[in-house]
Amino acid sequence: MSQSINLEPVNALDHTAFVGAFASVFEHFPQAAEGAWSARPFVSETALHDAMMNVIRTLDANGQRRFLNLHPLLSGANIRSGTMTADSDAEQKSAGLDSMPSDQEAALDRLNAAYLERHGFPFIICVRHYTREGIFSALERRIGRSTQQELDEAFAQIAAITRARLNARLRTLN
């Protein structure tokens, strides 16, 4: 990790300002920021992120599935539609999902549909850690895994995604 972040300004935020600053770290789920606020003061970036992740981890099984289903499919069409969050849009573009040939885009759509049908939630991966080819490979491999394995993996991927998003927001506050 690079330089340490001064969390004093974060710990001093009132509830409204804190939620406003961190509501979009988790895809369409400001409740992570709302729930984490009461865990202040945070001694580290990790403590803040853990508090937000704990909100997700303590949801019941149905709540966790609803949360997972808030995430967009990996898709060139989703990028072109302009309906994704700015973070998701930038993340998917970073892997070149906005510039796939039509045959790759169709293959991704088929794989997404197979994954969603098997597991009941979208394929989630920290795209910034993968090449486009790596994303396809992981998706093909993960379709056949058990849904419990995929739930565990989805939350691990969400932790990586949200840690990067949180770090970016913390740097804007310092």
Provide block-wise average pLDDT over 10 residues at a time, the chain (174 residues): 75 96 96 97 97 98 97 92 92 94 96 98 97 97 98 98 96 84
How far is it, in rounded angstroms, from Cα 90 to Cα 113? 22
Please tell me whether residues 140 and 123 are part of one structural domain. yes
Give the CATH number, domain containing residue 26.
1.10.3330.10
Question: Which one from 15, 28, 71, 119 is the annotated catalytic residue?
Answer: 71
Both 105 and 89 in one domain: the answer is yes
In a domain, 16, yes or no: yes
CA distances from 167 to 1, 15, 28, 62, 140 (A): 10, 19, 18, 29, 30
Q: Is 71 an annotated catalytic residue?
A: yes
Structure tokens at 67: 């949360």
| Alpha-carbon span 30 to 28, nearest angstrom | 6
Same domain, 149 and 76: yes
Query: How many domains does the chain divide into?
Result: 2
Q: 137: domain range? A: 72-155
